[in-house]
């Protein structure tokens, strides 16, 4: 049996950085990864997909050049092999950077293999048994494949496998109208494929307020994406030239199908029962406000604990754990203000409560909205789709939440994220003097228009 000061299972966006901090403190750490260092973000998430989004935007801008007085003769052609290779290069550079970083650390042992608990302090991997007083789980999540008629009879794609696609689909059917599905839908439409989005629920991006959801749908429809919401009785069948996707109200002749109906935690094959670690009904590991499980000496970080399925929330889990365990701090998961983005174009930046959540919370709320068509920067760039929205508490003057669907919305939202984390009241933020011409310069004006509902 090999002994360590700590064992980290899973090399996503929390575990490796925590392992590195512990090594800096002189600890002996084993980092176990069953596949690739970097987790979903580096290998099948943020980095490759946003690289693909950038290629798709380049194609869109090239096709739109005439509007700006830039005439490009001939058809804009897409070389999907080059597109894929570019995304792969970005991934490999990041992955190899991690490999090199860990190779230079004394005290770090990287083990590739499938880890399973043998007890609350012991883990087996590759036929060996390891033990440590502290064990951290950062095992991530994977795509969910719903049990739909015919799904096992077709060669479907997931958000992981579609990244390796180096040919352009004739018609891509996207099953699921949430964040992952919508990003791929717009991306492949811009590459030149016909695209249909099929969503069981009544609207796209169901987490968002109805006005945001409707605006997202308008953006995608304006680019020629076919959207089917409220779809039921979804079924698949092979056809002579692809796959037939049938619903209660539509029949789609697709060449490729992307299943984007959510993700589930990679916790079902860790032997958690042997350690006594509790999970909820969906398989997420139950943690307290400091990310500790019910078993002393075991923590769960990142997607597998169900408290945010984002790279930045996973990294923040690392920050919380490191601060509490290594720096004598007292940081809590409940202090985190959730923020995220949807990387369609224009992007959606979101922080805090939606209007629906704010109304249900009992706050006396103020709301302000402003169309992007009234933003100078958006007009100058010729990108006026979307709108800004902010919600505040009428009594405390604190900002409760915001949504910016529009040009650079994923960056502009950070002004509000910072204000919320600092506890700044909206009247104070109104007196800031932002740079002109930017999208952010409209935040004080947006706040100045707050009105009771």
Question: Which two tokens mark 403?
Answer: 């949504």
DSSP states of 111-179: EES--EEEETTEEEETTEEEE-SEEEE---EEE-----TTGGGS--B-TTGGGG--S--SEEEEE--SH
Contact 144, 65 (CB under 8 A): no
Report how far residue 432's alpha carbon sits from residue 56's, in angstroms, rounded to the nearest whole number.
Answer: 36
Task: Return the CATH number of the domain spanning residue range 2-142+264-335.
Answer: 3.50.50.60
For 340, the enclosing helix (H) or strand (E) is: strand 339-342
Contact 303, 12 (CB under 8 A): yes
pTM: 0.96
Beta bridge partners of 227: 197
Q: Residue 251: exposed, middle, or buried by beta-carbon count in 10 A (0-12, 13-18, 19+)?
A: exposed
Whole-number average pLDDT of the chain: 97
For 273-311, write each residue's pLDDT tens digit. Answer: 999 999 999 999 999 999 999 999 999 999 999 998 899
The reply to whether 171 belongs to the active site is: no
pLDDT on residue 359? 95
Distance from chain centroid for Cα 246: 29
Helix (H, G, I), strand (E, B) or coil at 53: helix
CATH architecture of 151-261: 3-Layer(bba) Sandwich (3.50)
Question: In tens digits, what is the pLDDT along the chain, a chain of 453 residues?
Answer: 999 999 999 999 999 999 999 999 999 999 999 999 999 999 999 999 999 999 999 999 999 999 999 999 999 999 999 999 999 999 999 999 999 999 999 999 999 999 999 999 999 999 999 999 999 999 999 999 999 999 999 999 999 999 999 999 999 999 999 999 999 999 999 999 999 999 999 999 999 999 999 999 999 999 999 999 999 999 999 999 999 999 999 999 999 999 999 999 999 999 999 999 999 999 999 999 999 999 999 999 999 999 988 999 999 999 999 999 999 999 999 999 999 999 999 999 999 999 999 999 988 999 999 999 999 999 999 999 999 999 999 999 999 999 999 999 999 999 999 999 999 999 999 999 999 999 999 999 999 999 999
Range list for CATH 3.50.50.60 in the chain = 2-142+264-335, 151-261
Please give the backbone phi and psi of residue 341, each rounded to the nearest 5 degrees, phi first. -140, 155
Catalytic residue (choose from 200, 228, 414, 436): 436
Helix (H, G, I), strand (E, B) or coil at 341: strand
Q: Residue 289: exposed, middle, or buried by beta-carbon count in 10 A (0-12, 13-18, 19+)?
A: exposed
Determine whether domain 339-452 maps to CATH 3.30.390.30: yes
């Amino acid at each position: 049996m090999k002994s360590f000061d700590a064992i980290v299972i899973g090399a996503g966006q929390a575990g490796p950085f925590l392992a590195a901090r512990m090594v800096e403190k002189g600890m002996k750490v084993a980092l176990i990864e069953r596949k690739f260092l970097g987790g979903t973000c580096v290998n099948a998430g943020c980095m490759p997909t946003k690289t693909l989004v950038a290629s798709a935007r380049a194609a869109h801008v090239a096709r739109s050049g005439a509007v700006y007085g830039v005439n490009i003769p001939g058809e804009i052609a897409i070389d999907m092999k080059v597109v894929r290779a570019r995304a792969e290069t970005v991934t490999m550079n990041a992955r190899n950077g991690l490999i090199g970083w860990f190779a230079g650390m004394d005290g770090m042992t990287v083990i590739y293999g499938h880890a399973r608990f043998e007890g609350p302090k012991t883990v087996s991997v590759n036929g060996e048994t390891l033990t440590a007083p502290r064990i951290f789980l950062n095992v991530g999540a994977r795509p969910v494949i719903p049990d739909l008629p015919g799904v096992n009879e077709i060669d479907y794609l997931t958000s992981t496998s579609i990244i390796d696609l180096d040919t352009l689909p004739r018609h891509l059917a996207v099953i699921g109208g949430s964040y992952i599905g919508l990003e791929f839908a717009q991306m492949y439409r811009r590459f030149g494929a016909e695209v249909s989005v099929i969503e069981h629920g009544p609207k796209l991006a169901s987490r968002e307020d109805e006005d945001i959801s409707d605006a997202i749908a308008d953006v995608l429809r304006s680019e020629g994406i076919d959207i089917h919401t409220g779809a039921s009785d979804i079924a698949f069948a092979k056809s002579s030239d692809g796959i037939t996707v049938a619903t209660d109200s539509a029949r789609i002749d697709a060449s490729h199908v992307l299943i984007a109906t959510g993700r589930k935690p990679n916790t079902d094959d860790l032997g958690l029962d042997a350690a006594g670690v509790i999970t909820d009904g969906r398989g997420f590991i139950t943690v307290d406000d400091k990310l500790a499980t019910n078993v002393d000496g075991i923590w769960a970080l990142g997607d597998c604990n169900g408290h945010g399925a984002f790279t930045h929330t996973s990294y923040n889990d690392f920050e919380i754990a490191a601060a509490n365990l290594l720096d004598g701090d007292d940081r809590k998961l409940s202090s985190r203000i959730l923020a995220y983005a949807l990387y369609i174009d224009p992007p959606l930046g979101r922080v805090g409560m939606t209007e629906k959540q704010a109304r249900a919370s009992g706050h006396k709320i103020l709301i302000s909205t402003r169309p992007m068509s009234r933003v100078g920067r958006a007009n100058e760039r010729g990108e006026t789709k979307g709108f800004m929205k902010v919600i505040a508490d009428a009594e405390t003057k604190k900002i409760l939440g915001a949504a910016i669907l529009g040009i650079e919305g994923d960056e502009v939202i950070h002004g509000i994220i910072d204000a919320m984390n600092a506890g700044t009241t909206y009247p104070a933020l109104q007196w800031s003097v932002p740079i002109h011409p930017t999208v952010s310069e409209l935040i004080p004006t947006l706040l100045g228009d707050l009105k009771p509902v």
